[in-house]
Structure 1
Amino acid sequence: MTTVQSPPAPPTATRPRVVARTGLYAVLAVNAAVVAYFFAEAGFASNALIVIGRLFGLYGALVMAFQLVLVARLPWLDRRIGMDRLTSWHRWTGFALLWTLLAHVVFISFGYADGAGVGPVSELVDLAETTEGVLRAVVAFGIILVVGAVSARYARRRLAYETWHFIHLYTYVAVVLAFSHQVAVGTTFTASAAATAYWYALWGVALGSVALGRLVLPLWRNQRHQFQVSAVVPESDNVVSVHVTGRDLDRLGAQAGQFFLWRFLTKDRWWQANPFSLSAAPDGRTLRLTAKAVGDGSAGLRHLKVGTRVFAEGPYGAFTTLHRRRTESLLIAGGVGVTPIRALLEDIEGHAIVVYRVGTDRDAVLYDELRDLAVAKGAELHLVTGPPVPDRLAPHELIRLVPDIADRDVFLCGPPPMMNAVLRTLGDLGVPKPQIHFERFSLAG
């Protein structure tokens, strides 16, 4: 068979992830400066505790607005940073929000209590009963405490995703209550029409981003493309591929390595949205996902009927060739994590080496496709089998397979333990971090 070698792609001049991250930091810094300006312009109370408490409240609300932008699923940010990293940042800023608002409540309560000569708890109760908007703020803070508690790692692991997600939705109630409290009684806003207009604009952008990314764009895309199942192909006893077709898929903008949240509109599945990567590079006519049966959702895919309507949210993810830094690549897959790797191999330019790690030969999903594709593209393919211990991808083993590993982009996808082990190995081998590309797709749901 004649091999076809793609021409090498030049290294990317700019790093899209760095550009996007810097842009986010810059936007946050500018808004922090604007908040400080309007706060200072409104003047300071005589009680230093009240001053500090008000400032914490303003910055807590700013962090809350920033959180909304992080999970708005805006395409420009998602393609450059990735949903997994944006979700992780959202989680950590959530804890920052919790402590900031706690400081706001404590300083305000002690500040007003000092002037009234009563205890802070009594003063907080009195403010809630007599001052407009304070009761709404107390309720909002209580909701945020509950959401923060269920988002802690211990609780999150013990809650079903649907339960956690339902509780998390109450954050939007807290947002509305906190916003109305601030514009009603906040000294910064009651003293300045310009500050009030800025605050409305800030929250309009934050809430508008959520509405655009999580509601308007998915509805518009599904109305435009009319997704439906065109074929269901069993790949093995517990792995199935689902082919999805639709209108104008060449305008969808999907890339190899990305994933969708798939919702198959049957009586028993319409309410479930599952993240599955594309297992073939989009060709403008069909999208393909391949999944292993690990739960009721994925196990039921093999029973889908041709013609079933599909509601697909996406494409999502930064696990694409957009972030390449080198002309040659190493693609490392573990188990069913081969699906985005197989799609990337189809799309990637330059010489590639593929390392596929599985327990046994029978676990090598899509291996025949991967082998044929590697031959056609002039790529090297290594199937690594065996139990997790000893580590078949330890530094000495990986450098034997890929001697020039430090000069390649590395794309990695697989089970979390395998990914963590390989990431440590890449660090030990001196592979620069900008050349390491991975996403933890479990966060996408």
Structure 2
Amino acid sequence: MVLAAGLVGVLWMWWASVPASFVTTPASVATTVGELSGMVGAYLVCAQVLLIARVPWFEQAVGLDRLVSWHRSLGASVVFLIITHVVFMVVGAEFVDQKLPWSEFVSMLQDYPDMLTALIGTIAFLVVGLSSARWIRSKLSYEVWYWLHVTTYVAIFLTFFHQLSGGAHFVDQPLNRILWLTLYLGTAAAVLTWRFVLPGIDAWRHRMRVVAVVPEGDGMTSVWLSGAHVDELGAKAGNFLSFRFLSRGHLLTAHPYSLSSVPADGRLRITVGALGDHSTMVRDLAPGTLVFTEGPFGHFTADRASRERILLIAGGAGIGPIRALAEDLAARGARPVVVYRAQSASRLALLGELEAMPDVAVVPVIGRRTELGYDPLAVPAMHTFIPDLADWEAFICGPTGMADRAEETLRALGMPSRFIHREELSMS
């Protein structure tokens, strides 16, 4: 609703200052399309940034996973609008000056104010947008992706000035200039406040140290942390936090990891799968390493459960939050069933802890589909495990393909979508 209201405001700014002759010639039509796409694209860039600015009331109402999803979805629209803006502005000027597109482009760089910085910023936007494409993102490490996205702030700064100095809807429109300045300054204030200043203060106050690093099986490592103000974080089983370890290989980026046990006595535990450079190096952390955290985040918690019978489905590194949820749910009087999917017995991290929990039933499902001859998360197998799943509630955490398959099966077996809980840990 807020996003739509802002978009209506941008359209009003454009309409109130567009000349009456904006559809009289091909040049005016092309220029008008270019101007409108540029204004809407610039507005959506601010909206994208605000979605992940960690504004507390917004994040608590919607959930970080959904905000990240909306942020990602807007990315394609922003890239399309930026390209449209550049192409139509060049085409419009080309119609007027009767030049070739490349010559007109060079002339615009020379004749319009702040165009060179705007070009650099636009290229940065396109690089960031392309880096988020599914195929390209899969080829990049989190660290490379993270630092590419940091350049978004630089790109916003570089493109902002040409909007006011060269934009037809701002040069002679003081009200529009004030509104546009307010939009950008408000966005910058939100980012500085809730992404940097307050998290920095909280990180220092809740700073922790690594207590122990425990191997948990093939490619899995648990890290125990403690600190003087850990209990004041308000972290619950199933939440995740962003951890920055002050150690070689970890200092430049913070990564999101879920809790793998119920926080107690000033201690937290995360269980990390070796999925990349950062997560692999977790096993080399030394006890005593200082840790800064941000969070907790997420709604993947036991208080979301509203049905008596609860199914937990885990795979890979997803066993961490599922194990913590099982502990919390059992403490609340529930009797959850855990379906634990793994390719081999050596990958069943934390299995012993789950099996030792009273009132928790564990169903290990081991082996690749090619070895088993069937898909253990498909409808026939899941119906065999639990015949009446329509009356259950489910929490799913694991690799995307596995989680998608499990959710599809649960829906096919009649479980309503509102009783199927998943959460994305990635900030990307």
Is TM (by shorter chain) over 0.5?
Answer: yes
Q: Could you say if the C-alpha distance between residues 237 and 62 of structure 1 is closer, same or farther in structure 2, counting changes exceeding 3 Å? A: closer
Report deviation, 1:81.
4.7
Q: Which 10-residue stretch deviates more, 405-414 or 269-278?
A: 269-278
Cα 1:324/1:194, change in 2 over 3 Å: farther
* Aligned pair partner of 2:205 in 211, 215, 224: 224
How far apart in 2 are the matches of 1:115 and 1:51?
13
Percent of aligned pairs sharing the same letter? 38
Q: Following superposition of structure 1 onto structure 2, how do residues 239-250 of structure 1 map, counting pairs within 5 Å? A: 239-250=220-231
2:353 corresponds, among 359, 369, 376, to: 369
Could you say which residue in structure 2 is the equivalent of 1:55? 36
Please give the secondary structure, in 2, of the residue aligned with 1:189. coil
- The match for 2:163 is 182
- Which segment drifts farther, 54-63 or 305-314? 305-314
Letter of the structure 1 residue corresponding to residue 4 of structure 2: A
Alignment-mate amino acid for residue 195 of structure 1: N
Question: Does residue 404 of structure 1 match 2:388?
Answer: yes
1:343 counterpart = 2:324? yes
Q: Which runs of 5+ in 2 are unaligned?
A: 22-27
Question: Quick one: structure 1 residues 77 and 400, their matched pair in 2 at CA, closer, same or farther if it must change by over 3 Å?
Answer: farther
Contact kept in structure 2, 1:57 and 1:100, CA below 8 Å: yes
Which amino acid in structure 2 is aligned with residue 38 of structure 1?
A: M
Cα shift at 1:183: 1.8
- Note the alpha carbon deviations across 1:159-204, whole angstroms, 9 max, x for none: 3333333333222222112211112222322333332222122122
Counterpart of 1:231, as a letter, is A
Q: Tell whether 2:30 aligns with 1:30.
A: no
Give the structure 2 partner of residue 194 of structure 1. Answer: 175
Q: Is the 8 A contact 1:45 1:51 kept in 2?
A: no
- Give runs of aligned pairs for residues 294-333 of structure 1, distance below 5 A: 294-321=275-302, 323-333=304-314
1:42, 1:191 within 8 Å by CA — same for their partners in 2?
no
Separation (CA, whole Å) in 2 of partners of 1:139 and 1:238? 42
Native 8 Å contact 2:206 2:293 kept in 1: no
**2:229 counterpart letter in structure 1:** D
| Match for residue 101 of structure 1 among 82, 100, 123 | 82
1:90 aligned to 2:65? Answer: no
Q: Does 1:42 align with 2:3?
A: no
Shift of 1:341: 0.6
Match of 1:352 in 2: 336
Q: Tell me which amino acid in the other structure corresponds to 2:15.
A: A
Q: Following the alignment from structure 2 to structure 1, what is the Cα–Cα distance between the partners of residues 173 and 314? A: 57
Alpha-carbon offset, residue 127 of structure 1: 2.3
* Structure 2 counterpart of 1:29, one-letter code: A
Q: Which residue identity lines up with residue 230 of structure 2 in the other structure? A: L
Please say if 1:169 is aligned against 2:150: yes
TM-score by length of 2: 0.88
Choose between structure 1 and 2 for higher RCO, CA contacts under 8 A separated by at least 6 residues: 1
Report the 3-state secondary structure (helix = DSSP H, G, I; strand = E; otherwise coil) of the residue aligned with 1:281: coil
CA distance in 1, matches of 2:232, 2:158: 40
Aligned amino acid, residue 139 of structure 2: R
C-alpha displacement of 1:280: 0.7
For each residue in 1:324-365, what CA deviation from the matched residue of structure 2 results, as whole angstroms up to 9, or x when unmatched? 453432111123321101111222344422222234444322
Q: Aligned partners of 2:388 and 2:198: how far apart in 1?
A: 42
2:365 alignment partner AA: V
Q: Deviations over 1:227-277 (max 9, x none)?
A: 112233343465332211112222212221122232222345433533321
**Does the residue aligned with 1:231 lie in a helix, a strand or coil?**
strand
SS at match of 1:188: coil
> What does residue 25 of structure 2 align with?
none
Q: Structure 2: how far apart are the matches of 1:136 and 1:304?
A: 42
**Segment of structure 1 superposing worse, 113-122 or 306-315:** 113-122
> Map of 1:243-282 to 2, 5 A cutoff?
243-282=224-263
Match of 1:14 in 2: none
Is 1:426 aligned with 2:418? Answer: no
* Aligned residues of 2:143 and 2:253 also touching (Cα < 8 A): no
The question of whether the paired residues in 1 share the 8 Å contact of 2:53 and 2:191 is answered with yes
